[in-house]
Structure 1
Amino acid sequence: MRLLNRTNERHEDNNPHQRKILVADDDPAILRLVEVALSGQRYQLVTVSNGLEALKMYRDGEYQLLLIDVMMPYVDGFTVTERIRSRSDVPIIIITARDGTDDVVHGFELGADDYITKPFRTAELQARVEAIIRRVEGYQHRKASPIVRIGDLEIDEPRHKVLLAGEDVNLTPMEFELLYFLAANSGQVFDREVLFREVWGYEYVGQTNLVDVCVRRLREKIEEQPSKPRRILTVRGVGYKLADGGSL
């Protein structure tokens, strides 16, 4: 089975510009840890200590990534994520102290792209951030690929654009990545481990619901009846697939 993917299209980072990251956390120790993990020539960090400051500081197009703590004073991380996601597809990683709980799932449902659990190691944070940045910047650095059309669904990879029956569909970066991967391999079934590795860019963490939540969000955006999907299908006991055009 030949997979059409982009994980092997990694490029050398010759971009002289720093990636600007907004970090919001009310714990000074976490802010220091993030600064240690992401210090250097690649990243420029802007740190704030609560959600209200994060909303005031954020400007569309100014940041390449947001790191948002869930539990913050004045405005919590969920509200920050929801408000920013309503007007921007900037990648968002939520920081949570409670792994495997409804907090993580709720963050994904609001549009977060990934999460990291406190306490975390610098190497883990670096891997998560670099995976997200690599995916997003891949839109500009990879060679233009053909537009994928399946029925009335059109995925324009070079322009990061999705049309359904001629209408724009607004997706987060990782929702787009997941849809493109499934569409480029339509009809093939993939388990969560493969999807996690190919889309998020690192090894699957068995207890996370990230893949399932991302599939659910995609169904809400491209299915006429999300509870009875005809495009993104569940293969019981195996995983997910995107139906090919002939089965729609």
Structure 2
Amino acid sequence: MSTPNKILCVEPTTNPQESLRAELEKRGYIISTLSNERSALERIEAESIQVIIINALGMVQRGKEICRTLRWRGVDQPILLLLPEGNKSSPDMQADMVLVKPFTIRKVVNRIKKLVAEPRIHLLQVGDIQLNRRIRLVRHGDGPLQKLTPKQAKLLETLMLHPGEVLTRRFLMKQVWQTDYLGDTRTLDVHIRWVREKIEPHPSDPIYVITKRGVGYLFAVLEDEPLNDDRDR
């Protein structure tokens, strides 16, 4: 017998949508309803939650704030954000899916099913560095989450997908900027510096993103043998 999916519904309102809860419970979901991000974080830490619904139908801005706060606090579970009519979805909301009224309960259920079935291939970890490719957040060990721009995230992802391998400037420019032009790679160097500032304990003396002079860059696996000290400081 399969384990019922647990859903956390965060509703920052004094009038929670009991009809939504009732319909989801009819379909076999286990629902917990809370009103703020602090309680939600405690519940997420204590239980295995499959999907988070943020019901912002009554308090739009508050709902969006809760969604962003959960992401910045490292919550990785898929989030479904419900918005009232007249609103639009935008990437800064940090939700995996957004539904804008009018919508049916069936549509909500279909979105939940899709989120539950989605593989968590967006998480990438090499050593102490963990990158969430979906929401572009990176963390070094137990340190704070750092937000990356799209190019920074793509550059770090490319390096992390080839740990211990020297990647040429041409390869990185092609992967991140979709160009073969090597007349000026200062853009690459600047982005490398920005990435180091997000993940390195001491960006001026990097231990993860290593420069290989005349060739390109390498993402170091610290468990490996020490690298030759030919890196640029």
Shared fold, TM over 0.5: no
Structure of higher RCO (CA pairs closer than 8 Å, 6+ residues apart): 1
Which category describes the TM-score, using the shorter chain as reference length? 0.3 to 0.5
Q: Which of the pair has more CA radius of gyration? A: 2
User: TM-score by structure 1 length?
Assistant: 0.40
User: TM-score by structure 2 length?
Assistant: 0.43
